[in-house]
Amino acid sequence: YRTNYTNNNIEFLDKWIKVPKLGKLKIRDKIKPQGRIISAIITQVPSGKYYISLCCTDVEAKKLESTNKNVGIDLGIKNFALTSDEISIENPKYLQKSLNKLAILQRKLSRKPKGSSNRNKARIKVARLFEKISN
């Protein structure tokens, strides 16, 4: 769902955001966007969560202070990262563990009868894990 900002139709009320056609929606963050809102896009991901994306203008970006230090980073297979300061970061094997778990959940999903509520629950579990892997 996409809407443009006209006549103050997108409004922030503490923990709520007011959007045309949908009305008041409860939001997690209390941070009001800086600048002027142009449009809002509300999307639903397969895991069932809703996200709202606001397009704003006239936003000031914070500038970072310069440290005048350079560092080289080498990405590898054995070590996840190796810096020029001789700092080694081990390779976390989250992806392989998650892919194994995904295979198990997909196998369980395939064995559920179509149209059942248990299949829908299994589908949501697969979608949540896939969302975690992709992020």
Provide the pLDDT for residue 100.
Answer: 94
Is 73 in a helix, a strand, or coil?
strand
**pTM for the predicted model, two decimal places:** 0.64
Provide the pLDDT for residue 3.
Answer: 86
- Reported as a pLDDT band with limits 50, 70 and 90, residue 120 is very high
Is 24 in a helix, a strand, or coil?
strand
Task: State the chain's maximal CA–CA distance in angstroms.
Answer: 61
Provide the pLDDT for residue 31.
Answer: 78
CA distance 38 to 57: 7
Provide the pLDDT for residue 110.
Answer: 97
Provide the pLDDT for residue 121.
Answer: 96
